[in-house]
């Protein structure tokens, strides 16, 4: 039987299943942080005569899609005990989740895949990438020190620190296409419950906070940059000056998701620096009609009428033909039984990639991921999605 659970005893079972499936050994404090976090989210389980045997947790988030706020369900801890894997429990849970999300008007869902092929069965496709950059200390010492302002190392529990960092995130990284609008509980779980993460805030000469850094000191060899948000070029220079000041203690400086190439402009010689891009989170448009209605299309003079044929084997409401009437950047989307014509045809995965900005409509058509049956390319100049960014993992 598929159900949502909220009681402490059931959350304990969810934690036990996740720990077993992913071979995680939590400390007592980490376990308590996990259980506290799960009181804010939706916990779906498959309960049989054997007890809770499969589970998926669903985070109710909001995200930025260009300049619009949309609802997003973050999927995590997809797990079954080995003896019941392949019995359909996960598929039944996903089906229940999608039904619930549809009723709530949730447009999108993100997840981190253990197998891309597995999650494509449910309509997800790769959208986010992240870049790892490794800077040897010989390279980072090239950064010219910024003399103005100052950087202060802070503790999350210090008075005012939470508000400053939350506000800086909301004004910087949190504005980017695809990024999470972080809830207070998520800040607590991702920052306060992680002993490895350290914090620093950058101030200008007027004592205004203009940037922040979340970092870690890994062993005796690696300085880890987890997250860096800055409002000005001064803040970028000052934060990187702070990072470079650790060159006497660490051999390598590693960033896992700093996508702004302006960091590279602070260096004079980069031949020993390495950059690698990895496929990361997958995304699914859960409610195509709602997503189209809220999507920020480009503003043009005339009204466009476009018909698309969408295939989605997991969400029946997405499967079929839709009429899009787009005026002044706003879309009226309706599902139609007998469309006048079909302009574009493709799977929910491929339309997700295009509208989220993983690649352009032109590239999707060229690769034959989406079939273009239009005569005038009516959708081509209405989509202008930037490269999506995500700074969270769940």
Taken in order of first residue, the domains within the chain and their CATH numbers are 2-106 (3.40.630.30), 131-278 (3.40.630.30), 288-382 (3.30.1050.10)
Q: Characterize 102-127 residue by residue with b for buried, 16 or more Cβ atoms within 10 angstroms of its Cβ, and e for exposed.
A: beeebbbbbbbbeeeeebbebbbbbb
**What confidence score (pLDDT) does residue 371 get?**
97
Read off the tokens for 337: 């039984």
Of 297, 290, 67, give the one whose Cα is nearest residue 174: 67
pLDDT (tens digit, 9 = 90+) per residue, 6-23?
999 999 999 999 999 999
**What average pLDDT does the segment 207-223 reach?**
94
Alpha-helix runs per DSSP H in the chain: 8-22, 28-38, 89-104, 116-120, 137-140, 161-171, 184-187, 233-244, 288-294, 348-356, 361-366
**Is residue 260 over pLDDT 80?**
no
Q: Are β-strands 125-126 and 108-111 bridged in parallel, bridged antiparallel, or unpaired?
A: unpaired
Longest dimension (CA), the chain: 69
Whole-angstrom distance, CA of residue 345 vs CA of residue 367: 13
pLDDT (tens digit, 9 = 90+) per residue, 180-208?
999 999 999 999 878 889 999 999 999 99
**Is residue 282 over pLDDT 80?**
yes
Cα separation values, 281 from 106, 125, 130, 179, 350, Å: 18, 8, 9, 12, 15
**Is residue 132 over pLDDT 80?**
yes
Q: How confident is the model at residue 219 (pLDDT cuts 50, 70, 90)?
A: confident
Whole-angstrom distance, CA of residue 345 vs CA of residue 125: 17
pLDDT (tens digit, 9 = 90+) per residue, 17-57?
999 999 989 999 899 999 999 999 999 999 998 899 999 99
Least-confidence region, from 227-231, 270-274, 315-319: 270-274
pLDDT (tens digit, 9 = 90+) per residue, 92-114?
999 999 999 999 999 999 999 99
**Three-point CA angle 166, 290, 295, nearest 5°:** 60
Q: What share of the chain is helix, strand, coil (3-state, %, to 5)?
A: 30, 30, 35
Helix pair 28-38, 8-22: axis angle to 10 deg: 120
Beta bridge partners of 274: 134
**Is residue 259 over pLDDT 80?**
no
Of 3, 16, 24, 2, give the one whose Cα is nearest residue 81: 16
């Amino acid at each position: 039987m598929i159900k949502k659970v909220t009681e402490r005893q059931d959350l304990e079972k969810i934690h036990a299943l996740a720990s077993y499936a992913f071979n995680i050994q939590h400390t007592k404090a980490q376990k308590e942080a996990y259980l506290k976090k799960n009181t804010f989210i939706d916990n779906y389980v498959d309960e049989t005569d054997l007890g809770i045997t499969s589970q998926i947790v669903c985070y109710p988030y909001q995200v930025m899609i260009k300049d619009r706020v949309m609802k997003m369900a973050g999927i995590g801890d997809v797990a079954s005990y080995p003896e019941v894997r392949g019995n359909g429990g996960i598929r039944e849970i996903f089906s229940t989740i999608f039904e619930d999300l549809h009723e709530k008007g949730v447009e999108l869902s993100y997840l981190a895949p253990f197998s891309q092929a597995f999650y494509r069965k449910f309509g997800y496709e790769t959208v986010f990438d992240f870049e790892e950059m490794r800077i040897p200390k010989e390279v980072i010492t090239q950064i010219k020190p910024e003399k103005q302002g100052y950087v202060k190392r802070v503790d999350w529990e210090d008075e005012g620190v939470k508000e400053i960092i939350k506000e800086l995130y909301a004004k910087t990284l949190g504005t980017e296409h695809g990024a999470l609008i972080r809830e207070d509980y998520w800040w607590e779980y991702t920052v306060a419950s992680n002993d490895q993460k350290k914090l620093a805030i950058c101030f200008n000469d007027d004592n205004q906070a203009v940037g922040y850094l979340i970092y870690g000191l890994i062993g005796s060899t690696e300085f880890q940059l987890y997250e860096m948000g800055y409002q000005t070029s001064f803040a970028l220079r000052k934060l990187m000056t702070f990072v470079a000041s650790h060159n006497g203690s660490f051999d390598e400086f590693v960033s896992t998701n700093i996508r702004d190439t302006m960091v590279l402009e602070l260096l004079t010689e980069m031949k020993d620096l390495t950059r690698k891009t990895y496929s990361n989170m997958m995304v699914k448009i859960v409610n195509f009609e709602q997503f189209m209605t809220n999507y920020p299309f480009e503003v043009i003079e005339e009204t466009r009428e476009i018909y698309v044929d969408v295939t989605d084997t997991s969400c029946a409401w997405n499967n079929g033909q839709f009429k899009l009437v787009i005026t002044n950047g706003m879309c009226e989307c309706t599902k139609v039984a007998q469309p006048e014509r079909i302009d574009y045809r493709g799977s929910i995965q491929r339309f997700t990639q295009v509208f989220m900005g993983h690649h352009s409509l032109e590239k999707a058509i060229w690769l034959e991921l989406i079939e273009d049956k239009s005569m005038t390319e009516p959708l081509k100049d209405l989509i202008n999605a930037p490269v999506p960014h995500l700074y969270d993992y769940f």
